[in-house]
Amino acid sequence: MSLVQRILLWAFLASLAGSMVLAFADPSWLAIPAMLVAWYLADLLSGVIHMYMDYRPCRPGMGLDTIFFYEGSRESEEYQGLFRERMRRLNPFERISYDFKNHHPRPDALGRRQLWRLIGSTVIAGALPISLLGNVAALIWPIPGWFMAGFAAFLVGGAFAQYFHGTLHRRDNPWFIRAMRKLGLLMSPEAHQIHHDTLKRDFATNSGWSNPLVNRLFRFLRSQGQLPDANLEPSS
């Protein structure tokens, strides 16, 4: 992780801590339901984004099929060179979409990625600026502590969604991940496997609480002719 990346990560964590301090400064029993609702909304966001990225078509003519269906060693110089060259053709959003598709046939690769690779784009594009704006707003206006508690929970669930997703694809996880699974705040690898077995349901990857709603949304969009299976893989 570079120095700039470390600064951005610590800035987000400091801002998140600020939201928690503001929540504790005005304690209320409403903080618990607010945090649970926020955790559900973060899970829902992870599911909707996952569904969209899975079925978002890759821009044709980028040669992504060459690396997606590459049959040799992905540690080889040939593949690494091809991968870097193809990724330079894409904008950051397209790279994220390709990563989602590439994840399906190679799920364990996600579990091997470093923290910043998993959450960096989310922190920069959303979590950090939203967190800073929330803290500034709470210092200017009398925002209740229960709202700040829910705000902090939503930031954690949103910013670390891909990290939580990655933990579903590795066996060795920190103690707090195992504890959150036991509490039902994070889903189990067995529950997530249903998505990989079908690619047509259970897109949420945090707690999975929102999967019934996301599944209904998926079925509705499919009934309207949206989200065709051909979009799951890059074409030539």
Tens of pLDDT, residues 61-117: 889 999 999 988 988 999 999 999 999 998 888 888 898 999 999 898 888 888 998
Percent of the chain with pLDDT over 70: 100
Distance CA 164, CA 186 (A): 8
Its pTM stands at 0.92
pLDDT digits (tens, 9 = 90+) for 149-166: 999 999 999 999 999 999
The yes-or-no verdict on residue 234 having pLDDT over 80 is yes
Q: Where are the domains of the chain?
A: 3-58+92-232
Q: What is the pLDDT of residue 121?
A: 87
